[in-house]
Amino acid sequence: MSATPLQDLSARIDARTARVGVIGLGYVGLPLAVELSAAGFEVIGFDIDSEKIRSIEQGISYIGDVSSEALQAVRAGNRFWATGDFDQLHDVQVVNVCVPTPLTKTKDPDVSFMASAVEEIRDRLHPGALIILGSTTYPGTTRELFVPVLEETGLKVGRDFSLAFAPERIDPANLEFKVKDVPKVVGGETPLCTELACKLFDTIFETTVPVSSTQTAEMVKLLENTFRAINIGLANEVALMCERLGLDVWEVIDAAATKPYGFMKFLPGPGLGGHCIPVDPSYLSWRMKSLNFSARFIELATEINGGMPAHVVDRVSDLLNEAELAVNGAKVLVLGVAYKRDVGDMRESPAIDVVTLLARKGAKISYHDPFIAECEIDGTRYKGSELSGELLAESDLVLILTDHSGIDYGRVVAGAVRVFDTRNATRAVEDQAGKIVKL
């Protein structure tokens, strides 16, 4: 008896002869493509951004977690190439979908990138294919969006092709946990779908964690980041409380963190940033509203976290006012516009809202970020400035929004007139002149 297409795929994964496609070559897709290539698979990356394709062809990585050397190594072995030609999906047996899943202005899920990807796959779907969605989304997306579209071909999930959801768990710039070190959660539409997806990921991840369904896997991802968003919301509210009480929130949190059980350390800040933590809770809240369920914890945390940029601007206004300066015309130097330390990613960065609010009040904004040379905020193009002594001295206030590790904060404080530190970046700096004010 001849092997079925799905049995043939299992054997090809074992032999590393299955060709793998990755749709979306951003912060999730490119690291996955390089890891799969390094594991011995031929990988085709698909993206609509011609600049990304050109960079890959030149062996130049545009993602901090993927070195150009690692990219060049898999390129040299002819195991990885990129294209905007989706007809090459005909030549792959496994497709990983790693496209963006942003929110609309009304905080509703924007599934347009996923919808476009699944249509491209549908038009080239063949028996034996394994489709894996890795984009963060609301519970039910794989079953409600992918299954009907793919089955329009007449092929049946679990019989003719496999479908699974395996969320990304990448933490950019985390030097302790690389992509393959973090266990991979996998949920398939059928047990065989789960088995095949786990077989693929077993080739690059130290651990795979199979769960009972695609919906379970989707919920796992949302729980992880909702947990973080809610606890950051608590930390931010505690920061607001400590301000009213005249307490140092950073001292309070550090002392609480000495308890060896029952407490997990989360830190306040100027707001949430990145693609996951500000977005994922809204996906879950939106989904639950459709089921007439109010996700009150999520909505409260979203309200608190979303209000932090405005609170930062109010504090800046107060600090300038104490020096008999108006926000209008004040020179404000922003240190860090990336959403987190040591990355060049501005997605959902709280700096966007803070700079927008300050600029609308008439502040003259300059910024320094070693990872972002220029950016556009609220229609204005900003170019990063060198962190010179002259720039520090002429600024009415230095506002630390991102605590990049490569910045000498002692030098910043010594050269600045006053500093508002929203990240506790200056914790090791002696402040005998009383220049530093913290969140």
Range of the domain at 119: 5-212
Instruction: Determine the distance from the C-alpha atom of residue 122 to the mean position of all C-alpha atoms in its chain, rounded to a whole number.
Output: 28
Q: Are 369 and 337 in contact (CB under 8 A)?
A: yes
Give first-to-last CA distance, the chain, whole Å: 70
208: in domain: yes
In this prediction, residue 172 has a pLDDT band, given cuts at 50, 70 and 90, of confident
What is the mean predicted confidence (pLDDT) over 29-45?
A: 96
Whether pTM > 0.75 for this model: the answer is yes
Whether 207 and 248 map to the same domain: the answer is no
Query: Angle formed by the axes of helices 214-245 and 296-322, to 10°?
Result: 30
State the catalytic residue, choosing from 198, 242, 276, 375.
Answer: 276
344 vs 384: CA distance, rounded Å: 13
Each residue's pLDDT tens digit, 132-141: 999 989 999 9
Of the residues 146, 179, 212, which one is the last residue of a structural domain?
212
Residue 276 annotated in active site: yes
What percentage of residues in the chain have a pLDDT greater than 70?
100
Cβ burial, residue 300 (10 Å; 0-12/13-18/19+): middle
101 vs 135: CA distance, rounded Å: 7
**How is residue 122 written in tokens?**
């549908």
Q: What is the pLDDT of residue 1?
A: 52
Length of the chain: 439
- Cβ atoms < 10 Å from Cβ of 76: 10
Of the residues 147, 180, 212, which one is the last residue of a structural domain?
212
225: in domain: no
Each residue's pLDDT tens digit, 94-114: 999 999 998 887 878 899 999
Whether 279 and 204 map to the same domain: the answer is no
Number of domains comprising the chain = 2
In this prediction, residue 175 has a pLDDT band, given cuts at 50, 70 and 90, of confident
Query: Angle formed by the axes of helices 5-15 and 191-201, to 10°?
Result: 20
CATH code for the domain in which residue 259 is found: 3.40.50.720
Is it the case that residue 174 has pLDDT exceeding 90?
Answer: no
Of the residues 160, 181, 212, which one is the last residue of a structural domain?
212
Q: What is the pLDDT of residue 171?
A: 79
Cβ burial, residue 379 (10 Å; 0-12/13-18/19+): exposed
Helix extents (H) in 214-279: 214-245, 249-256
What is the mean predicted confidence (pLDDT) over 397-414?
A: 97
